[in-house]
Amino acid sequence: MNHPVVSIIIPIYNAAAHLFECIASARSQTLAEIELLCVDDGSTDSSLELLHALANEEPRIRIFRQPNSGAGAARNLALSEARGKYISFLDADDRYASDTCLRELYDAARRMGASICGGFRQILNPNGTVTLHSLFRRDLKRKPQGVKIAYKDFQYDYHYQNFLFQQELLKRHQITFPLYRRFQDPPFLIRAMIAAKEFAVVPVEVYLYRRSERPVVWDAEKVGGLIKGLTDDLNLSRQANLPKLHALTVRRIEQDFYEAITGCLDLPEIYDLCIEANASVNVALLKGQRSTRGDFLLLPLQACLQKSGSSSNSAPRSFRSSGDRFRAAHGFIQCIHDHGIGYTIRRGIEHLGIPMNAELSRSKSTKKK
């Protein structure tokens, strides 16, 4: 096989039902210089056997195996083995939307000097119909050659599969997927976009996403990963001064994933992660994006306060079993809610046994030195 110009990374876990169709859409690409890096993530169905059968007739398939560790870990393993100049990500239950999409993205990336290049997305509905996703379609009306978009003008976090990523960009900035069971994709895309500063997009049908009727079963591990990923997005948008993305991430916490998060808030580790997320919100960035007050508290935490009330006796059982730990965390949030951050910090200093006057005089003496 010639040296590949595009490496297609496919994480696989119990995907036998759609795997053949997925890989067929990659094999049929008119861009011949590709490799398919298929990572079996501890499947218990016939996925691995099907992979080996396909590899026997397709030399561009490379198979890797790992114990079940999640899609992020599987993609990272493939990234470490990829040989292509550009990287494409394909999930095992999805497929490419056309046979020419990788050729067109690759040619456009080189022509436009882009380290990230993307196109259109389609949705395969459970009833077999296809819906055209709206992303980029309005931007590219009457622009057949494509456009370049600055990420500061885009500020979005989903649909990373729509893009080719230059491998040198990912390596230079050490961009990989966080090892979360859910929501590892948005931090990856945001980090790549911030590093690239801009991206190209062309009017090409790239990705066909299969919409599932099966609801996500949210357990503590998945919700924990979700909140960590959302906190990553809050920190990245804050550090890069991206107010629209910051507000979008807050909206995802308070609307898109509100029920999933509040459903696990009686677990101390989930509560603590929500505290960390709340601390990552920059209220100044939200001004003009949504209405805010001086002190900010994410809606899931507000719901927890309303549920538990002012008495720890009415708090969830797992909190009560944590004793002082819960009361301290609960009191901290309640104090911010009632009196503001400044007052809460002063009370915290006093709680540590450092009188405010002594703290001020120590600060003054340090400045004199």
- With contact defined as beta carbons under 8 Å apart, do 97 and 119 qualify? no
* b/e sequence 98-126, b meaning 16+ C-beta within 10 Å: bebbbbbbbebbeebebbbbbbbbbebee
Tokens (6 digits) for 86: 């550009």
Count of CB atoms within 10 A of residue 241's CB? Answer: 11
Closest to 187 (Cα-Cα) out of 198, 176, 174: 176
What's the pLDDT at 310? 42
What's the pLDDT at 365? 43
CA dist 166 and 254 (Å) reads 34
Q: Mind spelling out the 3-state secondary structure of the chain?
A: CCCCCEEEEEEECCCHHHHHHHHHHHHCCCCCCEEEEEEECCCCCCHHHHHHHHHHHCCCEEEEECCCCCHHHHHHHHHHHCCCCEEEECCCCCEECCCCHHHHHHHHHHHHCCCEEEEEEEEECCCCCEEECCCCCCCCCCCCCCEEEEHHHHCCCCCHHHEEEEHHHHHHCCCCCCCCCCCCHHHHHHHHHHHHCEEEEEEEEEEEEECCCCCCCCCHHHHHHHHHHHHHHHHHHHHCCCHHHHHHHHHHHHHHCHHHHHCCCCCHHHHHHHHHHHHCCCHHHHCCCCCCCCCCCCHHHHHHHHHHCCCHHHCCHHHHCCCHHHHHHHHHHHHHHHHCHHHHHHHHHHHCCCCHHHHHHHHHHHHHC
Q: Where are the domains of the chain?
A: 6-210, 220-351
What's the pLDDT at 362? 38
Q: How far apart are the first and last CA of the chain?
A: 69
Tokens (6 digits) for 262: 């509040």
- What string of pLDDT tens digits covers the 369 residues of the chain? 578 999 999 999 999 999 999 999 999 999 999 999 999 999 999 999 999 999 999 999 999 999 999 999 999 999 999 999 999 999 999 999 999 999 999 999 999 999 999 999 999 999 999 999 999 999 898 899 999 999 999 999 999 999 999 999 999 999 999 999 999 999 999 999 999 999 999 999 999 999 988 888 999 999 999 999 999 999 999 999 999 999 999 999 999 999 999 999 999 999 999 999 999 999 989 976 555 555 678 999 988 877 766 434 434 444 433 334 444 554 555 455 444 555 454 555 444 444 444 333 333 344 444
CATH superfamily of 6-210: Spore Coat Polysaccharide Biosynthesis Protein SpsA; Chain A (3.90.550.10)
Closest to 286 (Cα-Cα) out of 315, 250, 312, 339: 250
CA dist 60 and 28 (Å) reads 12
